[in-house]
Structure 1
Amino acid sequence: MRKNDKKLDNAIRVKLTEVCEHALDHTDGFLWLTHTVDYKKFPSSLLVRCVFTDDSLGAAIKEAPLSSLIKNTLASVGIEIQKQQICYTPENIH
């Protein structure tokens, strides 16, 4: 990983940690989030996966305020992503 990639990865991690902490307090059924990225194809390769309890997943997808929070939080550090780069999964599928 190049030095710039490490800085970018750290910025992503810090911002997604902020989102995670907020979601734990304000989003029913939210468990955690994670991300994957290929820096050779950044930012289109960035994928944020939000994990929910099985019974709350449908409501989370329907309401989708978490997607806006993720997009806005990453945009605050200059990282623009599309809504299809954010996915919601039940806890039993990682």
Structure 2
Amino acid sequence: MPKYQVNGRTPLEWIVDRYNKTVDKDSGIVNDPLEGMDEDDIIAVIERAVYVGVESDRLIAELPDEFEPKDWKPKKTGLDAHMVPDARKSA
């Protein structure tokens, strides 16, 4: 199973949460995301989520440990003149 997570959940956990049938306590309105979906549609969603997780794990594993040297500084651009100074830095 993929290790990739978004906000602490795997893609499959997001599907289980989002495709869960709910009933509003006050109105009694039923929200059933699976209503009208056939089995093939549900399987396709699950396959895509697993694919995203597996491919994300693969891509993350290929990333270098460090993107730039520790002493790297961004280049100043013409847009820097328009930046608002951070008040926290001067305090």
TM-score, reference length from structure 2? 0.27
In terms of Rg, which structure is larger?
Answer: 2
Structure with more of its chain in strand, by fraction: 1
Structure with more of its chain in helix, by fraction: 1
TM-score, reference length from structure 1? 0.27
